[in-house]
Amino acid sequence: MRVGFGYDSHRFVGDRPLVLCGVHVESGRGLEGWSDADVAVHALIDALCGAAAMGDIGTLFPPGDAECRGVSSICMLSAVVEKLSARGKAINNVDVTVVIEEPRLAPYVPAMRELLASTLDVPVASVSVKAKTNEGMGFVGRGEGAAAFAVATVMDS
């Protein structure tokens, strides 16, 4: 079994939808980025890539690549799952923590877990999604952006 860790952060902008773990979250602003800026899925991709020694999200999906412009991060995650499978790796479990002051994510967590489990082809019980605030501290606490951490375990299939 191998373990990978991922982190990502994005700043808020007013002219985009907020997408976290592939789910559209009601908010007056979204996150800035080349793709849909799903900070949680980006951290998860890095965790999975780290567990399989496949580099990182920027290696697989370079910023500025026209093919990645506006793309769903769930589509990017699907591509990573295919690459893992091609390398003989199976996902065991994932744990994602989204750090955001608002909006409150608890109502969205079940849908996030379901979508990630479906995309990763693992049982929902193998997917954890948590939301935390930064208690008013730092860029997250000031409402300037959001961050996410992820841990993933993979094993030979």
Q: What is the pLDDT of residues 39-97, one digit of tens each?
A: 999 999 999 999 999 999 999 988 777 777 778 999 999 999 999 999 999 999 999 99
Rg (CA), the chain: 15
Q: What is the pLDDT of residue 150?
A: 98
91 Cα distance to chain centroid = 15
Report which of 97, 96, 99 is spatially closest to residue 136, judged by C-alpha positions.
99
**Mean pLDDT over residues 29-36, rounded?**
94
pTM of the model: 0.96
Q: What is the pLDDT of residue 64?
A: 78
* Domains annotated on the chain, with CATH: 2-156 (3.30.1330.50)
